[in-house]
Chain A
Amino acid sequence: MLGIETIATYIPEARKSNYDLKEKFEIENDFIENKIGVKYHAIKDKGFKSSDMCVKAFENLHYNSNINLEEIECCIVVTQNPDLNIPHTSAIVHGKLGLSSTCAAFDISLGCSGYVYGLSNIISFMKNNGMKKGLLFTSDQYSDIIDEDDKNTALLFGDAATVTLISEDPTYIPIDFSFGTNGKEYKELINKDKLYMNGRAVFNFTATTAPKHIKALLEKNNLDDTNIMKYYLHQGSKYIVDTIRKRLKVDEQKVPFDMAEYGNTVSSSIPIILAKDIKNTPKGKIVLSAFGVGLSWASAIIEKIK
C-alpha cells in the first residue's frame, strides 16, 4: 500500500522577530505569545525561489534516506508562489534534482489546505499509474508578498518547504480524505500586489468550518475522539488552533502547536509537525485538517503503522 515513508523539511535559519514590531503595531508580549503564537518568522535568503527551497528540503531528505533519483516516478509541488508563471515549479525542481525523464511532474496551486489535497492527489495518481516512489513538495515564501504595514499578515507568516516521500514502505497510510471550497469568499485572502487577509472573515470561516468538517469525517468512518491519537491542524495562528481545539472539545495534549519559532508556513505547516513527530509517536490514527486561501479546506485520517 502506498503511503508516507518519511518527510524532510527546510526552514530557513534567518529569523525576523515579532518583538521588534511591538511598538509599530501597538501589541504586547501576551498577544505575540498567546494569541498570534508567532515569536519569530523564518525568512529565506533574498533571491531564493520556491524551487530553491524544495531542493533544500530534498537535500535534507536525501541526507537521511539516501534516495535513488532514478526510482522517483512522480514529483508534485504544492505552491502559490511559483518561481515563474510559466513553467510549473515542479519542472524546475525536476531539472535541479536531475530526476528521470520518465518522472511525471506537475504543480498544485493551493495554500493552507495544499498538503492534505496534495497527499490525496499523489497517492491516487501513483496508484492509478502503477508508480512506486514519488515526491510531494510544499513550498511558499510569503516574505516576498507580505505588506510590512499590515498587522493582519505581517505578524504571521514564515517561509518553509517540505518534501514527503511516498512509497510502498509507509510509516503513515491514508484512511480517508474530505475536501471543501467556498469560492464566493475568495477575496477574503488574496494576493494582488501584496497579500491581503480579512482576519475576521477568515477566523469565522475557520472556527465554524474546521470543527464540523473534522467531526463529519470521523463520523463517516465510525470513529470518535477516543480513536484519535493526535490532531495535526494547520498552524494558522495560536488563537485559531486553540479555538478549533476548544470547539472540538479535545484534550490540549492531542493538538500540537509548533509555529512559535518560524511562523505560519502555509501548506508546509502540517508536514513540518508530522516530520517532527514521525519518530516519537506510537502507532495510531491521526487527523490532519487544513483551511485557508480559497476559501478551501481539507481533512484526512491517516494511521501510523510503525
Chain B
Amino acid sequence: MTVTVEEVRSIIEEAETMADMETLSNDVALTQQEVDSLDMANILLLIEEKYDVKIPDEDMNQLQSVDGIVAYLSGL
C-alpha cells in the first residue's frame, strides 16, 4: 500500500484535533503534540475507513507518529 505523509496529515486535520498542523512534527508522538486518546481513536478510525484496513489494538504502539503511521500502512 502506498501512503504519503501528506495523506496522513490530512486525516489528522480532518479529525479536528487541538494539534497545530503547521508545527506538527512527523517524527514525534502525536500524543505529545496536543492529540489526546479520543483524538487518536478517531484518527485510527478515519485511517481504517479511508484505506479499508483493520488496525488491531496490539499494533497501536506502531502508529504513534505521522512517520509511524505511514510506515505501518506502507508495510501492509
Interface residues in chain A, defined as those with a beta carbon under 8 Å from any beta carbon in chain B: 30-31, 35, 198-201, 203-204, 207-208, 237, 239, 243
A203, B57: Cβ atoms closer than 8 Å: no
Given A30-B18, A198-B57, A200-B57, answer yes or no on A35-B42 (Cβ-Cβ < 8 Å): no
Given A30-B18, A198-B57, A200-B57, answer yes or no on A35-B36 (Cβ-Cβ < 8 Å): yes
| A118 CA to B57 CA, complexed, in Å | 34
A200, B44: Cβ atoms closer than 8 Å: yes
Min C-beta distance of B6 to chain A, whole Å: 23
User: CB-CB < 8 A to B45: which residues of A?
Assistant: 203-204, 207-208
B18, A204: Cβ atoms closer than 8 Å: no
| A239 CA to B36 CA, complexed, in Å | 11
**Residue of A30, A204, A207 with highest tally of chain B CB at under 10 A:** A204
Q: List 28 A-B pairs, Cβ < 8 Å.
A: A30-B18, A31-B36, A35-B36, A35-B38, A198-B57, A199-B37, A199-B38, A199-B41, A200-B41, A200-B44, A200-B57, A200-B60, A201-B57, A203-B38, A203-B41, A203-B42, A203-B45, A204-B41, A204-B45, A204-B48, A207-B42, A207-B45, A208-B45, A208-B49, A237-B38, A239-B38, A239-B42, A243-B42
Additional A-B contact list (17), CB under 8 Å, known A198-B57, A199-B41, A208-B49: A199-B37, A199-B38, A200-B41, A200-B44, A200-B60, A201-B57, A203-B38, A203-B41, A203-B42, A203-B45, A204-B41, A204-B45, A204-B48, A207-B42, A208-B45, A239-B38, A239-B42
User: CB-CB < 8 A to A237: which residues of B?
Assistant: 38
The closest CB in chain A to the CB of B60 belongs to A200
Interface residues in chain B, defined as those with a beta carbon under 8 Å from any beta carbon in chain A: 18, 36-38, 41-42, 44-45, 48-49, 57, 60
User: CB-CB < 8 A to A30: which residues of B?
Assistant: 18
Min C-beta distance of B67 to chain A, whole Å: 21
| A170 CA to B41 CA, complexed, in Å | 41
The closest CB in chain B to the CB of A198 belongs to B57
**Chain A interface, DSSP helix/strand/loop, else mixed:** helix
| A204 CA to B44 CA, complexed, in Å | 9
User: CB-CB < 8 A to B60: which residues of A?
Assistant: 200
| A129 CA to B70 CA, complexed, in Å | 60
| A204 CA to B36 CA, complexed, in Å | 16
Min C-beta distance of B25 to chain A, whole Å: 21
Min C-beta distance of B39 to chain A, whole Å: 8
| A208 CA to B49 CA, complexed, in Å | 9
User: CB-CB < 8 A to A204: which residues of B?
Assistant: 41, 45, 48
| A31 CA to B48 CA, complexed, in Å | 24
The closest CB in chain A to the CB of B37 belongs to A199
User: CB-CB < 8 A to B36: which residues of A?
Assistant: 31, 35
| A36 CA to B40 CA, complexed, in Å | 14
| A30 CA to B17 CA, complexed, in Å | 12
Min C-beta distance of B35 to chain A, whole Å: 11
Min C-beta distance of A253 to chain B, whole Å: 19
The closest CB in chain B to the CB of A30 belongs to B18
| A239 CA to B16 CA, complexed, in Å | 11
The closest CB in chain A to the CB of B16 belongs to A246
| A239 CA to B44 CA, complexed, in Å | 15
Min C-beta distance of A129 to chain B, whole Å: 44
| A31 CA to B31 CA, complexed, in Å | 13
| A237 CA to B57 CA, complexed, in Å | 21
